[in-house]
Structure formats: structure tokens, C-alpha cells
């Protein structure tokens, strides 16, 4: 596999992902709504394009021009608390539909950024106990907000596209992404309420980029969701203790110990060979600049 199209290339996760793929020898076509300008030169092994993914046919045209071996879809509006809910839902659903359908028509495998929000706990008005711990890919998806709902619909679209076109699609249910030197989850961890929506889970952006890369090499078929989370919580205390303090209870079925994450990434480890390497204990103080895609 030589060429990969990556949407959302100028987002934080997009930059880390494009940078890693280029370093690994891929030729990357980075697509975003904005472009740095005709006089700006992209870094080696990277080509930059501008595209409104919600416009039907626009992405398909770019894909035909690029002739890639795979598509990585990271573009999305992430926060319904900042952006209007209808904008979040419409943008994310339409862009995902257009990207996945275009990839299907061209017979291209897809890895895309779903979210832990699809489970319905983040952004919930009153987060409830999960049915069991740790939460894996089999847990029910019950979002009640525009962002989580857009990811649920996106996974439904992935089912449709794999049925119709037979391409493999990996839906990465990514936890709260943090970046070296800027672990925002640590700012308010003195209050359990600040992280209760995802049960104090997180993942380093570099580990997400690795999951993307390894999914491109994996032998997948159909639509497969994968939880992508760090192995531990960011509280520095036992996870079940935090549950009992906040909820006053635990699910009946609990099989986590100590500070293990409430989100289970074992499927990604087994199927993709993925292993999270970064933890809040060291990454929060790292001095790593955000990758630049231009020279």
C-alpha cells in the first residue's frame, strides 16, 4: 500500500496521523476544508487538497484523481457544546456518508474516526452506569446528543457501504484524545464529574495514529468497530473506586482491577496488533511540537 487519503488533515489528530504515515513511507493526500495557499509547499510525501466533504461528488472526484490504496476519514465537528447541534450532526453524517460511499464505489478500504461518544455516556444529561465493565465493542450504543448520534449513524453507514460494495471498514471508537505536553483531562480531575461522561478514559493522539496505521495493514473484512483507549484511567486511583464514589454503585458484571480503563481495547490489540504506548504520567510533561504539514 503506497498512497492514503486522509481527511481532516489539518486537525490536531489529522496532523499527527499524516505525519506518522508519511514517516512510515506512505504518500499522503491530506484533505481539509482549508488550504495553506498555492505558494505554500507541503512536507515530503504529503500533498494537500481542499474539499467540502458535505458536497456530494466533490470527494469522489478527488479520490479518483489521487488514485489511493486506502482512505482515512478523520474530519468531523467534535463538540456539540461549542457548535450548534444541527451543524454537528449534519456535517458529520453527510461527510461520513460521502467519504465512505465514494471509497466503496472505488473499492477502497476505509479507517474512520468513530468515537466513544457513540456509547451515549459523553454529553449525556445524566450519565448512567454502563451495563458492564470494561466497555467493549458489544456494549449497546445509546447516544442522546448530536455528536454521539452522528457517530452512531456513521457506523450504520459503514454497515450499508460494506454490504453494498464489500469493502472493509474499521470504525475506531476513539477515547478522549490527548496530546504530548497538553493533557487537558488533568486540569479538572480533582472533580469526578469532569470526566464521568467517558469514565475517566483517554488516549494519546500518537497512539491513535498508530492504530490508524496498523488498521491499514490488517486483514479485515466487513465493518469492524474497535475501541481505542489507553490501558489506564487518568485519575491515578482505582477505577471501580471512582465509580462507587460518583454513582454509589457498580455494574453487576465487573472485570477490571486497579486503574485499568473502563474502555476495553483488547479487540484492537488482537486484530490490529495495536498497543497504547503513552500514558498521562509521562506524556503530559513531554515537549513535543505539533507536526507541521508544510515547509
Nearest Cα to 136, choosing from 228, 208, 47?
A: 228
Counted domains in the chain: 1
The model's pTM is 0.97
Predicted pLDDT at 89: 96
Query: What are the phi and psi torsion angles at 46 (to 5°)?
Result: -130, 135
Average pLDDT per consecutive 10 residues, the chain (295 residues; last block may be shorter): 94 97 97 84 94 93 97 91 82 98 98 98 94 98 96 98 98 98 95 96 98 97 98 98 97 98 98 98 95 92
Predicted pLDDT at 1: 65
Calpha distance 69→91 (Å, rounded): 25
Calpha distance 46→52 (Å, rounded): 19
- 48 falls within a domain: yes
- 102 falls within a domain: yes
Domain harbouring 270, CATH code: 3.40.50.720
Calpha distance 208→204 (Å, rounded): 7
- 253 falls within a domain: no
Predicted pLDDT at 281: 97
Predicted pLDDT at 40: 82
Per the CB < 8 A criterion, the answer to whether 190 and 50 are in contact is no
- 238 falls within a domain: no
- 107 falls within a domain: yes
What domain range includes position 99? 3-179+204-232+262-278
List alpha helices for the chain, DSSP H: 12-23, 58-66, 85-106, 146-165, 205-217, 239-247, 266-272, 280-283
Per the CB < 8 A criterion, the answer to whether 285 and 265 are in contact is no
- 47 falls within a domain: yes
- 196 falls within a domain: no
- 242 falls within a domain: no
Distances (CA, A) of 145 to 39, 118, 162, 190, 227: 41, 9, 26, 26, 20
Amino acid at each position: 500500500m503506497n498512497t492514503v487519503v486522509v481527511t481532516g488533515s489539518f486537525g490536531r489528530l489529522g496532523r499527527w496521523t499524516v505525519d506518522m504515515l508519511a514517516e512510515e513511507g506512505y504518500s499522503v493526500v491530506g484533505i481539509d476544508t482549508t488550504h495553506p495557499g498555492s505558494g505554500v509547499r507541503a512536507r515530503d510525501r504529503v500533498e494537500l487538497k481542499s474539499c467540502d466533504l458535505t458536497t456530494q461528488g466533490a470527494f469522489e472526484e478527488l479520490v479518483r484523481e489521487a488514485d489511493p490504496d486506502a482512505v482515512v476519514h478523520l474530519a468531523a465537528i467534535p463538540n456539540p457544546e461549542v457548535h450548534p447541534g444541527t451543524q454537528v450532526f449534519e456535517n458529520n453524517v453527510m461527510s461520513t456518508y460521502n467519504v465512505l460511499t465514494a471509497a466503496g464505489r472505488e473499492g477502497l478500504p476505509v479507517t474512520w474516526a468513530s468515537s466513544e461518544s457513540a456509547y451515549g455516556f459523553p454529553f449525556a444529561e445524566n450519565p448512567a452506569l454502563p451495563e458492564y465493565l470494561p466497555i467493549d465493542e458489544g456494549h449497546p450504543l445509546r447516544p442522546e446528543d448530536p455528536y454521539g448520534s452522528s457517530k452512531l449513524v456513521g457506523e450504520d453507514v459503514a454497515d450499508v457501504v460494506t454490504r453494498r460494495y464489500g469493502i472493509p471498514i474499521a470504525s475506531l471508537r476513539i477515547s478522549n484524545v490527548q496530546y504530548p505536553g497538553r493533557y487537558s483531562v488533568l486540569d479538572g480531575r480533582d472533580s469526578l464529574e469532569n470526566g464521568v461522561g467517558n469514565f475517566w478514559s483517554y488516549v494519546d493522539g500518537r497512539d491513535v495514529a498508530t492504530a490508524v496505521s496498523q488498521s491499514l495493514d490488517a486483514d479485515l473484512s466487513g465493518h469492524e468497530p474497535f475501541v481505542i483507549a489507553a490501558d489506564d484511567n487518568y485519575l491515578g486511583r482505582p477505577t471501580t473506586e471512582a465509580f462507587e464514589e460518583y454513582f454509589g454503585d457498580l455494574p453487576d458484571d465487573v472485570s477490571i482491577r486497579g486503574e485499568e480503563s473502563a474502555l476495553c481495547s483488547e479487540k484492537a490489540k488482537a486484530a490490529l496488533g495495536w498497543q497504547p504506548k503513552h500514558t498521562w504520567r509521562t506524556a503530559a510533561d513531554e515537549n513535543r511540537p505539533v507536526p507541521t504539514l508544510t515547509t
